């Protein structure tokens, strides 16, 4: 059975592979594989790039952004004895294979194809703890005659900053070598773009790059001109018309890596070659790593270790619902996208990235909470170290160089307390608040509690005279980049966000015996709630913001952008709207913003750019923040619906955002059906429904949370694990298995009366249990670490 099949591919039965059926997908469909330090992208054409620590500052191989050509990569050419040439992926030769499939999996990709009677299987992956990748190539002769094949690898070295637009300059510092005994090409560079204490542009690239193969090569090349030929091209390199490579190495060349192997295959014979590519700390480490993987057994062991690591990560929580697309995304791909793509890699084809976004990776790291909350704490502490003493933070910063951008965007700093609170709810580990970290501009460490309240207190200073928070150079929405540059304009969404944080941190302050602060935060929250409901109410919904001039935007008085999503969803999420208003604004979301692709970020899109709003209005209408579905924000509509008990709507919106469902129309949607898109183009676009910026930040973690915690309703609270489903009425039953504070819970939910929500009965390990938290939910207590428990929840009307 081919699960969820379209003309471009399908999922494997366990959902852990997406099998692409043709190299000609509507856009490159890629995998972002990272081990936390080293990483690579690989598309179904076999293209992609590699990096260590930072995909832009420390790119190992060259790549330039071109999603139409997708022609930068690390390739293997195959030439047979009759001079037929093809690629083990598909690019760059693009020969028509007799058969082809690309299996994107968790931590690996496999491209299988058959050309001229030779079957190839190219497996690419990275060992768990080493700064390198492995390409295991198996070739099988399916013909009745003996075959002689020449194999040539090919890629261009970047060795640092990318894109390498200043190539003539940069290549002058690079040097290649070939170690005949170890079958290894080495490459170094005597300049790096990363500043050190001794100054910018005056340091060695501190790594040694290597490319090796386990079978003795017959030749090698590290000079691009020799390989491609002057005015040559990748599809037909001149080297492939010659018997032997020229074997140029050293300085003063445009450096590439190419190893030539010759193999003979008898009929039905199969041979495997293992190539490595890596970025070592020293020449010694490069040799050690290259040699280690000259052993097929070691390659096999490393691959098994990768699978074990991912299985352990994925299996900590899983769901079994009546909806396959939901199961596959919750169990496999949303976790993988958040961890491999966003927390570790922070890079993909639509944005090569590499930096840490202050708010981005904090939100992404919430994914770890159900799996390994310690890792969320590590992320919180890393971000705390990028806070200034006055409570403000970098908008983003680069690992390696530690250069960061400070701007007037007003919400960034608040994600620290927001995610800290989520960590506390998951773990009840209040000792984390006492752990200490320094500031970017001040070495004396402060407690995490101090870091958090500094952020809150800073935000509380930036209010307008009537009591709404100032937007500055944008709130969560980066595109509102000019609304409040004079620090007069206000943000309504930010008001909701602060309200929620004040309420939450009042609780934290109480727990930590900071009673004065608790009271203060509670009073501020109450005041803010009143102001939001009085001043930010537009008649039918909350308006979006005010400009420095005082003019309202995101309001019914505007012709364009007259209704915004975030001020409505967060009025519910943050508890600002009372019950009646909450339903009213979510009705507006459904009526005015929700389309077949999900709820738009705003509507109608801006057709004219507005210098007082920001770059959002400069995107073409329907694109990204200008009236598209911005998946990250749209997931909050799922949460708001679920909070109101509107289970059919919550699931409907979740399903619209689910890339598997969007991907049922691949010609329209074009993006990968197994990871979320950052955005889907809105109705004003000529490409309404087209997905883009796949593998992007924010959306995977939030969609995962919306599904697990709000639709399936299993979420942590200080008292225990809450069971508060909000599901479609038609569902009969589902199961969630998750770990909570070290104990394992298997929770079965039954819905005999076909309601959306409301837990009538809760049975824990066979005993009726009744710890009620709210009107419709119940709490399962915390148990001892290592114990296993079964929970049965029966839904129904009181
Ligand atoms: C991008 C940014 C994120 C921001 C969002 C909305 O995804 O990385 O930080 O919140 O755009 O503008």
Using the predicted structure, report yes or no on whether residue 570 has a pLDDT greater than 80: yes
In whole angstroms, give the CA distance from residue 734 to residue 155.
Answer: 48
Dist. CA 627 → ligand 1 center (Å): 14
Dist. CA 493 → ligand 1 center (Å): 14
Which atom of ligand 1 is nearest the CA belonging to 625? 12
Using the predicted structure, report yes or no on whether residue 32 has a pLDDT greater than 90: yes
The pLDDT of residue 466 is 98
The pLDDT of residue 633 is 98
In whole angstroms, give the CA distance from residue 604 to residue 670.
Answer: 24
Q: Is 360 in the pocket of ligand 1 (CB under 6 A)?
A: yes
Pocket test for ligand 1, best of 698, 699, 701, 702 (most atoms within 8 A of CB): 698
The pLDDT of residue 769 is 81
In whole angstroms, give the CA distance from residue 412 to residue 409.
Answer: 7
Dist. CA 477 → ligand 1 center (Å): 6
Mean pLDDT of 725-732: 98
Q: Is 679 in the pocket of ligand 1 (CB under 6 A)?
A: no
The pLDDT of residue 749 is 98
Q: Is 697 in the pocket of ligand 1 (CB under 6 A)?
A: yes
In whole angstroms, give the CA distance from residue 246 to residue 239.
Answer: 8
Contact 723, 713 (CB under 8 A): yes
- Three-state SS letters, 531-584: HHHHHCECCCCECCEECCCCCEECCCCCCCCCEECHHHHHHHHCCCCCHHHHHH
The pLDDT of residue 18 is 98
User: Whose alpha carbon is nearest atom 10 of ligand 1?
Assistant: 476
Q: Which residue has tokens 């709207």?
A: 577
Mean pLDDT of 274-296: 98
Nearest-CA neighbor of 776 among 751, 759, 795? 759
Using the predicted structure, report yes or no on whether residue 150 has a pLDDT greater than 90: yes
Q: Is 698 in the pocket of ligand 1 (CB under 6 A)?
A: yes
Dist. CA 478 → ligand 1 center (Å): 6
- Terminal Cα distance for the chain, rounded: 42
Pocket test for ligand 1, best of 347, 354, 697, 702 (most atoms within 8 A of CB): 697
Pocket test for ligand 1, best of 350, 351, 354, 360 (most atoms within 8 A of CB): 360
Which atom of ligand 1 is nearest the CA belonging to 678? 7
Token pair for residue 95? Answer: 């020969």
User: Whose alpha carbon is nearest atom 7 of ligand 1?
Assistant: 697
Dist. CA 100 → ligand 1 center (Å): 37
Using the predicted structure, report yes or no on whether residue 102 has a pLDDT greater than 80: yes
Q: Is 357 in the pocket of ligand 1 (CB under 6 A)?
A: yes
Q: How far is CA 674 from CA 103, 335, 371, 480, 570, in A?
A: 12, 11, 21, 30, 28
Question: What's the pLDDT band for 193 if we cut at 50, 70, 90?
Answer: confident
Dist. CA 308 → ligand 1 center (Å): 33
Q: Is 11 in the pocket of ligand 1 (CB under 6 A)?
A: no
Q: Is 359 in the pocket of ligand 1 (CB under 6 A)?
A: yes
Question: What's the pLDDT band for 437 if we cut at 50, 70, 90?
Answer: very high
Q: Is 353 in the pocket of ligand 1 (CB under 6 A)?
A: no
In whole angstroms, give the CA distance from residue 472 to residue 480.
Answer: 9
The pLDDT of residue 165 is 86
The pLDDT of residue 138 is 98
User: Whose alpha carbon is nearest atom 6 of ligand 1?
Assistant: 477
Q: How far is CA 72 from CA 43, 107, 208, 211, in A?
A: 10, 21, 22, 17
Helix (DSSP H) and strand (DSSP E) numbers for the chain: 19, 44
The pLDDT of residue 776 is 80
Dist. CA 607 → ligand 1 center (Å): 21
The pLDDT of residue 196 is 72
Mean pLDDT of 370-392: 98
In whole angstroms, give the CA distance from residue 506 to residue 502.
Answer: 6
The pLDDT tens digits of the residues spanning 323-348 come to 999 999 999 999 999 999 999 999 99
- Three-state SS letters, 600-662: CCEECCCCCCCCCCCHHHHCCCCCCCCCCEEHHHHHHHHHHHHHCCCHHHHHHHHHHHCHHHH
In whole angstroms, give the CA distance from residue 413 to residue 411.
Answer: 6
User: Whose alpha carbon is nearest atom 11 of ligand 1?
Assistant: 478
DSSP structural state of residue 459: H
Dist. CA 767 → ligand 1 center (Å): 46
Token pair for residue 396? Answer: 């983003």
- CA angle 290/162/246 to nearest 5° reads 50
Q: Is 476 in the pocket of ligand 1 (CB under 6 A)?
A: yes
Which atom of ligand 1 is nearest the CA belonging to 477? 12
Dist. CA 615 → ligand 1 center (Å): 13
**Cα–chain-centroid distance for residue 31?**
11
The pLDDT of residue 217 is 98
Q: Is 628 in the pocket of ligand 1 (CB under 6 A)?
A: no
Question: What's the pLDDT band for 164 if we cut at 50, 70, 90?
Answer: confident
Candidate from 202-206, 389-393, 541-545, 637-641 with smallest mean pLDDT:
202-206
The pLDDT of residue 343 is 98
Token pair for residue 174? Answer: 């690079």
Which atom of ligand 1 is nearest the CA belonging to 698? 7
Contact 682, 688 (CB under 8 A): yes
Pocket test for ligand 1, best of 395, 473, 478 (most atoms within 8 A of CB): 478
Cα-Cα-Cα-Cα dihedral of 232, 236, 242, 246, to 10°?
A: 50
In whole angstroms, give the CA distance from residue 273 to residue 213.
Answer: 7
Contact 78, 120 (CB under 8 A): yes
Q: Is 635 in the pocket of ligand 1 (CB under 6 A)?
A: no
The pLDDT of residue 92 is 98
The pLDDT of residue 777 is 81
DSSP codes of every residue in 281-322: SSHHHHHHHHHHTTSHHHHHHHHHHHHHHHHHHHHTEEEE-S
The pLDDT of residue 289 is 98
Using the predicted structure, report yes or no on whether residue 17 has a pLDDT greater than 90: yes
The pLDDT of residue 660 is 98
Dist. CA 382 → ligand 1 center (Å): 20
Which atom of ligand 1 is nearest the CA belonging to 633? 6
Count of C-beta atoms within a 10 Å radius of residue 162:
25
User: Whose alpha carbon is nearest atom 9 of ligand 1?
Assistant: 360
Using the predicted structure, report yes or no on whether residue 199 has a pLDDT greater than 80: no
Half-sphere exposure of 213 (CA within 13 A, CB side): 22
The burial class, CB within 10 Å (0-12 / 13-18 / 19+), for 591 is exposed
Helix intervals (H) in 98-146: none
Using the predicted structure, report yes or no on whether residue 67 has a pLDDT greater than 80: yes
Question: What's the pLDDT band for 239 if we cut at 50, 70, 90?
Answer: very high
The pLDDT tens digits of the residues spanning 288-302 come to 999 999 999 999 999
Q: Is 625 in the pocket of ligand 1 (CB under 6 A)?
A: yes
Token pair for residue 261? Answer: 């192997």
Using the predicted structure, report yes or no on whether residue 197 has a pLDDT greater than 80: no
The pLDDT tens digits of the residues spanning 168-181 come to 999 999 999 999 99
The pLDDT tens digits of the residues spanning 580-634 come to 999 999 999 999 999 999 999 999 999 999 999 999 999 999 999 999 999 999 9
* Average pLDDT of the chain, as a whole number: 97
Which atom of ligand 1 is nearest the CA belonging to 474? 12
């Amino acid at each position: 059975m081919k699960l969820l099949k379209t003309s471009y591919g399908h999922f494997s039965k366990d959902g852990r592979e997406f099998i692409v059926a043709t190299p000609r997908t509507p856009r490159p469909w890629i995998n972002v594989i990272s081990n936390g330090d080293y990483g690579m992208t690989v598309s179904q054409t076999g293209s992609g790039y590699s990096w260590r620590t930072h995909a832009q500052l420390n790119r190992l191989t060259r790549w330039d952004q071109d999603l139409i050509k997708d022609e930068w990569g690390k390739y293997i050419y195959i030439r047979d004895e009759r001079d037929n040439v093809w690629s083990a992926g598909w690019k760059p030769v693009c020969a028509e294979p007799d058969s082809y499939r690309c299996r994107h999996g968790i931590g690996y990709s496999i491209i299988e194809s058959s050309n001229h009677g030779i079957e190839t299987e190219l497996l690419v992956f990275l060992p768990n703890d080493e700064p390198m990748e492995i390409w295991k190539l198996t070739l099988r002769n399916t013909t009745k005659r003996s075959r002689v094949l020449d194999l040539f690898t090919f890629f261009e070295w970047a060795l640092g900053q990318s894109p390498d637009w200043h190539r003539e300059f940069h290549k002058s510092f690079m040097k290649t070598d070939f170690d005949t005994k170890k079958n290894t090409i080495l490459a170094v560079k005597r300049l790096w773009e990363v500043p050190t204490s001794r100054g910018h542009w005056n340091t060695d690239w501190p790594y040694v790059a290597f490319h090796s193969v386990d079978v003795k090569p017959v030749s090698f090349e590290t000079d691009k001109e020799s390989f491609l030929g002057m005015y040559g091209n990748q599809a037909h390199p001149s080297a492939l018309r010659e018997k032997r490579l020229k074997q140029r190495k050293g300085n003063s060349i445009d450096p590439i890596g190419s190893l030539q192997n010759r193999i003979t295959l008898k009929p039905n014979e199969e041979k495997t070659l293992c190539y490595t590519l890596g970025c070592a700390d020293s020449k010694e480490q490069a040799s050690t790593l290259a040699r280690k993987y000259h052993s097929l057994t070691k390659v096999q062991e490393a691959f098994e270790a990768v699978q074990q690591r991912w299985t352990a990560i994925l299996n900590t929580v899983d769901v079994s619902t009546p909806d396959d697309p939901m199961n596959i995304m919750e169990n496999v791909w949303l976790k993988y996208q958040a961890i491999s793509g966003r927390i570790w890699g922070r890079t993909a084809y639509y944005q090569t990235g590499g930096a840490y976004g202050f708010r981005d990776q904090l939100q992404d790291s919430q994914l770890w909470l159900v799996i390994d909350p310690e890792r969320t704490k590590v992320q919180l502490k890393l971000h705390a170290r990028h806070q200034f003493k006055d409570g403000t933070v970098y908008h983003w910063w680069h690992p390696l160089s530690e250069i960061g951008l400070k701007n007037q965007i007003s919400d960034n700093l608040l994600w620290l307390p927001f995610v800290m609170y989520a960590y506390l709810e998951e773990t009840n580990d209040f000792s984390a608040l006492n752990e200490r970290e320094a500031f970017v501009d001040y070495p004396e460490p402060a407690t995490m509690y101090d870091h958090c309240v500094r952020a809150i207190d800073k935000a509380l200073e930036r209010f307008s005279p009537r009591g709404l928070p100032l937007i500055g150079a944008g709130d969560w929405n980066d595109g509102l980049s000019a609304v409040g540059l004079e620090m007069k304009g206000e943000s309504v969404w930010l008001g909701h966000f602060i309200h929620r944080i004040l309420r939450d941190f009042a609780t934290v302050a109480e727990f930590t015996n900071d009673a004065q602060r608790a009271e203060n935060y509670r009073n501020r929250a109450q005041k803010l709630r009143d102001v939001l409901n009085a001043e930010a109410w537009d008649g039918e919904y909350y308006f979006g913001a005010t400009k420095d001039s005082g003019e309202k935007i995101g309001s019914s008085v505007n012709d364009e952008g007259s209704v915004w999503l975030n001020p409505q969803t967060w009025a519910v999420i943050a508890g600002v709207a009372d019950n009646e208003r909450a339903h009213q604004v979510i009705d507006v979301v459904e009526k005015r913003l929700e389309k077949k692709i999900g709820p738009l970020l705003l509507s109608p899109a801006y057709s004219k750019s507005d210098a007082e709003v920001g770059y959002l209005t400069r995107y073409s209408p329907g694109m990204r923040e200008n009236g598209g579905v911005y998946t990250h924000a749209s997931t909050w509509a799922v949460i708001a619906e679920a909070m109101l008990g509107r289970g059919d709507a919550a699931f409907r919106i979740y399903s619209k955002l689910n890339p598997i469902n969007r991907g049922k129309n691949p010609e329209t949607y074009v993006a990968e059906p197994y990871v979320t898109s950052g955005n889907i183009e809105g109705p004003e676009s000529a490409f309404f429904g087209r997905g883009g910026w796949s593998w992007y930040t924010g959306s995977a973690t939030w969609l995962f949370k919306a599904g697990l915690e709000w639709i399936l309703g299993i979420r942590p609270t200080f008292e225990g694990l809450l069971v508060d489903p909000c599901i479609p009425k038609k569902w009969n039953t589902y199961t969630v298995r998750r770990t909570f504070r070290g104990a394992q819970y298997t929770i079965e939910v039954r819905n005999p009366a076909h309601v959306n929500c409301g837990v009538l009965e809760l049975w824990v390990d066979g005993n009726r249990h009744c710890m009620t938290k709210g009107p419709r939910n119940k709490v399962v207590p915390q148990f001892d670490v290592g114990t296993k428990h079964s929970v049965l929840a029966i839904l129904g009307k009181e």
